Amino acid sequence: MYLTDYHIHTSFSSDSEAPMEEMILAAIDKGLDEIAFTDHVDFDDRYTFTDYNLYIPYLEDLKHKYKNDITIKLGIEVGLENTKADKVNTITAAFPFDFIIGSSHSVKCYDLYFDQKEFFSTRTKQEAYNTYFEEMFKNIQTCTDFCVYGHLNFVSRYGMYSDNSVNYMEFSPVIDAVLKELINRGKGIEINTSGYRYGINDCYPDIEILKRYKALGGEIVTIGSDAHYAKDVADHIGAAYDMLNIAGFKYITIFKARKPQFIRL
């Protein structure tokens, strides 16, 4: 089986202190065939901004050093916001990324981490989660240059309710709209295993949403640990591969120059 981790952060992200080389060595030690570094770019002044003119040569040196041990792709995780689509599309077009994760970290200019109380305390769960997915739909329409949408039900990580889970049947109209828009635009989704580290004992999204994506005709799926520390590289990726099999997928997706390539499971 070809093992990948397509969501890894390093000290170039404002929320990680992990050296890039340390993450590569962890990936090699855990038997991975291919990884993608996806350091953050978010357009909130409370985050630092990576200088890719320095980042890319540094990564290229490490790719060359470990070329016989593992395949390394240049990726990025961009916080998508439809009100800032010009900024988003500018950064994704400026550099030769192999792979781009588009994620919803902010909703209507509320950052789900920094502004958790402000966003959730004034909204019911139904209101907050519907708003989250409605904004995601707009992001897909306006921020056009990404490969997969990251951790689709990420909103559940920060919800402030007695039950923070995203049940597909409860939000099926808006989730279906998101999935159909992704498929129509040739975009994929990721299975993000970090939910196992954040108390939900599952992936983002769960199996029901993954099955629905497949039923609607979706084929592009990457797997990522969302690791910010070396110990978390490849965390629970076995569970993610099991989900692919259960949902009926025959392939795992990798990317080169933002073009999907399919490798049989």
Average pLDDT over residues 80-95: 94
The confidence score (pLDDT) of residue 49 equals 76
Average pLDDT over residues 88-100: 95
pLDDT (tens digit per residue) in 154-209: 999 999 999 999 999 999 999 999 999 999 999 999 999 999 998 889 999 999 99
Report, in angstroms and rounded to the nearest whole number, the Rg of the chain calculated over CA atoms.
17
Question: Has residue 97 got a pLDDT over 90?
Answer: yes
Q: Is 87 exposed, middle or buried (0-12, 13-18, 19+ CB in 10 A)?
A: middle
Which domains occur in the chain, in start order? 4-264 (3.20.20.140)
Question: Has residue 237 got a pLDDT over 80?
Answer: yes
Give the H/E segment covering residue 58: helix 52-65
48 compared with 8, residue with greater pLDDT: 8
Average pLDDT over residues 17-33: 97
Average pLDDT over residues 95-99: 97
The confidence score (pLDDT) of residue 90 equals 94
- CA gap 242, 21 in Å, rounded: 29
- CA gap 217, 23 in Å, rounded: 34
Question: Has residue 5 got a pLDDT over 90?
Answer: yes
Q: How far is CA 8 from CA 115, 167, 238, in A?
A: 24, 27, 16
